[in-house]
Chain A
Amino acid sequence: MQIIYAVAALGGVGILFGALLAVAARFFAVESDPRVEAVREALPGANCGACGFAGCTKFAEAVVEGKAASNGCIPGGSGSAEAIAAVLGREAELSVPLVATVFCIGDCESSRDLFLYHGIKDCVHAQKYGGGFKACTDGCLGLGNCVRACPFEAIRMGPNALPLVDREKCGGCGLCAVSCPRNIIKILPKGDRGHLVLCSSHQRGKTVQNVCDVGCTACNACVKACPQEAITIEDNLAVIDLAKCNDCGDCVLKCRQGTIFPRARIGGVSGRTRAAAGARA
């Protein structure tokens, strides 16, 4: 008898609370736009913040309210933009996929250190100790802030302490570029076309030569060699205009430092191996 009594009492209380919750859920229901959820589904969900909103859900809300363009999601690219446009019944805006590129190939073999650093494995910390342990003030410190910043796990540390970007995985959100205290990572339109000068140093040529075997010394050889006139020297650093570059490779042959690489080959090997391969090409 006692057990039936107990079961009935608890069961009754349970049913009562259940009913109460059901009523409360009805009474206090928060109306949400079903389109927000649909737009949210079309996004990668990395919450990288490249769109300028606090996470994918906030971006989805902004898109539905018309405060953001359907192509605002950089990692999602045109796929997301089209899916969002389909949900909202709008025309998809064009979107350009972006990719992060590391503008330094001065690894531990080809560039010199000023002193031994045994501190916290963090680029920002290392940068604060006497302006960084590398002799080059613009070279990659190789402590992996960009690796930790990447929400897509697209960046890993290469064998020579230089970050390698997986161009398939990279969403182009730019969190790595922000995390780098030396601004070595730049965000470029995705693609294999064109050559790049993989150096960020704006120091004078002599200074660069003293600290790094593969840095741009702004010697002007590539500028003269380029038939397309796509290369200019800006503040002691050669810059290739991707719009003009036609991949002829003349600059690679002329570059004595081996700093210039075709974009198709970036991301496999690093440092001296790459310099050697570049010299052969």
Chain B
Amino acid sequence: MTAREIRNFLIAAGLLALCALLPVYGSPYWLTMGTTMAMFAVLATSWALFSGPTHYISLATAAFFGVGTFVTGLGFQALPFWALPLIAAGIGAVLAALVGLVTLRLSGVYFVIFTLGMAEMVRQVVTWVQNQTGHRGMYVLTSITEREIYWMLLGLGALVYLLGWLIGRSRLGFALRIIGNDETVAKHSGIDTALAKVALFMVPGAVAAATGAMLAPRYIYIEPATAFAPLLSFQVVIMALLGGTGRLWGPVAGVIPFTLLWEVITRQAPNQTLLLLGLAFLLIVYVLPGGFVGLWDRLRRRYGGHG
């Protein structure tokens, strides 16, 4: 590792420790906010791992997330809790692979539409299974506190960062950047583009499912309508794009201001939260095409920053 990488690692570890101590120095209010931010940070960062380099906009986050909450809902009494996010991640990855095999050969808008429909499809399948089996509403009553959920999410976040860093250095990451720039060139260079895309699409699928599994004890009552709420997918996309997908830390730079702003708007003008989502999107398209990351890089270039 170079000196710069070691420096970055130390900074990241320091920031992580600072976050992990939030329950110690922060008020319960900030712990609740922190849990929400950690959730979105994990979801948006893992989303950007795939959608950043490939430019495939995935709206399937809610589908994976919902599957994860149902894994916990079904399994928390029979299995130790630590096993549930792992199982959820496995199911999420398999589901992502299946979806990827079907859709990632298609390009652009087909993929977007399919992933949007997928959350609804999975919701209907879950409901159908419940109906067939006469299954009742699920109550996830555990002794898991918000603090523990927060730490679990932080741990998952650290894993996602590590994974992102490794992928960025790997042949897979390189292949995906080529695919993102020009898929035809990538094919002609001998890259198995479908395989590379499917492999990477499994990452956000697994992470979102694990996140859902961790958050189920927070919701207590699991029902398909809230577990698969499509709004989640859009929030993740907007936050990630606002921060910028060009760098690993980009999505978090979008998550934090967006979550704070959402909170302020909820307090002051509760009916306008969806408007915020729309305005943020316009802002990204017209002013910040590269998100905050793009802005940062532009400013650094202009004012002669280096390093």
Query: Are A and B subunits of one complex?
Result: no
